[in-house]
Amino acid sequence: MKRSNIIGCGSYLPERVVTNEELAATISTTDEWITSRTGIKQRHVAAEGELTSDLALKAGERALENSGVDAASVDLLILATTTPDNTFPATGTKVQSKIGMVNGAAFDVQAVCSGFIFALSVADSFVRTGQMETVLVIGAETFSRILDWDDRSTCVLFGDGAGAVVVQAGNGDENNASEVFSGNNVGRGILSTHLHSDGKYTDLLYVDGGPSSTQSVGYVRMNGREVFRHAVVNLASVVDEALDANSLLREDIGWLVPHQANKRIIDGTGKKLGIPDSKVILTVDQHANTSAASIPLALDIAVKDGRIKRGDLLLLEAMGGGLTWGASLVRW
């Protein structure tokens, strides 16, 4: 069976930055509350007329450029998003055409904040089974469009953005990885992905609209405290599941690249797992919770600033509405 390599990444944040202070001028909140409860300092908000597909396109183009891959050789484009341009067609098909993909297929995956992990898992399955050679996986969101800007308990938490990776078939032994690593996790690439959902908890985090229910778009509604409680437990458990599946230990993790929702959730998960802060990629301060875009955004920032290097063992994890949660171990 083949192994999926992540051969490059890219990201895009809309130009407009909205600081906590700016929000505090329009709703009853403070920079101190937002920073101490979430670690968020600012978020990016898409310009009028700038759509999820536009953000996805820019992140996708940057990932292709970073990978040295031509759009024409991409077989499959998977877009993880909860904020599609339209109810249908899949936003991924719009990106497929604009990016210059001439072969293959494109579709969207919807798992809210876990969307990137779910999309990566789908890409990995297609590549491992030999159905696809090169897959562009994008997470892109314009959450600003589904926020109730009068609800201070949710509107301060989210932002817009996009991140992408290129997944390509390999044999796991690129860069002579087997000389460096031993055990059943030899070599480079996606070692495994682990997905979960539990629909009992749909009412903890949802949008109160939709084509079938209200024929309107609706707004994000969340029981933050309960989501928080589930997040730390579920994330620690799925991280251990991923490590066990690869006979690896918590101390083998080079970098934890978590979904960037809240610094306190990330700190809590790291603490539960005994992973020091120095091994955790934290970017939520710069872009808030960008849902499916947050992991590839954090990954791209840490790859470009030189923290993540070839050969590092990465643990990606996320939890979101559904509830959905998942993890992936990647040898970079």
Q: Which residues are catalytic?
A: 113, 259, 289
> Is 36 exposed, middle or buried, given 0-12, 13-18 or 19+ CB atoms closer than 10 A?
exposed
| Window of 88-96, 99-107, 255-263, 272-280 that interacts with ligand UT7 by CB under 6 A | 255-263
Residue 35, interface with ligand UT7 (CB under 6 A)? Answer: no
Of the candidates 77, 284, 316, the one whose C-alpha atom is nearest the C-alpha of residue 161 is: 284
Of the candidates 151, 154, 142, 149, the one whose C-alpha atom is nearest the C-alpha of residue 44 is: 142
Quote the CA–CA distance of 161 and 173 in Å, as a whole number. 33
Both tokens of residue 82? 């909860």
Nearer to ligand UT7, 229 or 304 (CB): 229
Quote the CA–CA distance of 109 and 71 in Å, as a whole number. 20
Nearer to ligand UT7, 248 or 319 (CB): 319
The helix/strand/coil state of 118 is: helix
- Count interface residues toward ligand UT7 (CB under 6 A): 22
Candidate list 231, 280, 297, 299; residue touching ligand UT7; CB under 6 A: 231
Quote the CA–CA distance of 45 and 160 in Å, as a whole number. 5
Residue of minimal Cβ distance to ligand UT7: 224
Residue 41, interface with ligand UT7 (CB under 6 A)? Answer: no
Residue 228, interface with ligand UT7 (CB under 6 A)? Answer: yes
Query: In 299-318, which positions are buried (b, 16+ CB within 10 angstroms) versus exposed (e)?
Result: bbbbbeeeebeeebbbbbbb
Footprint (CB under 6 A) of ligand UT7, residues 53-72: none
Quote the CA–CA distance of 294 and 319 in Å, as a whole number. 11
Of the candidates 303, 311, 328, 314, the one whose C-alpha atom is nearest the C-alpha of residue 66 is: 303
Residue 262, interface with ligand UT7 (CB under 6 A)? Answer: yes
Residue 38, interface with ligand UT7 (CB under 6 A)? Answer: yes
Nearer to ligand UT7, 209 or 224 (CB): 224
Residue 235, interface with ligand UT7 (CB under 6 A)? Answer: no
Helix (H) or strand (E) holding 160: strand 160-170
CA distances from 227 to 221, 230, 258, 261, 321 (A): 11, 5, 16, 11, 9
Residue 153, interface with ligand UT7 (CB under 6 A)? Answer: yes
Nearer to ligand UT7, 71 or 146 (CB): 146
| Window of 70-78, 141-149, 150-158, 242-250 that interacts with ligand UT7 by CB under 6 A | 150-158
Query: Residue 267 CB, nearest distance to ligand UT7 (Å)?
Result: 12
Contacts with ligand UT7, 102-131, as mask; x by CB under 6 A: -----------x------------------
Give the footprint of ligand UT7 on this chain (CB under 6 A). Answer: 29, 33-34, 37-38, 113, 152-153, 156, 205, 224-225, 227-228, 231, 259, 261-262, 265, 289, 319-320
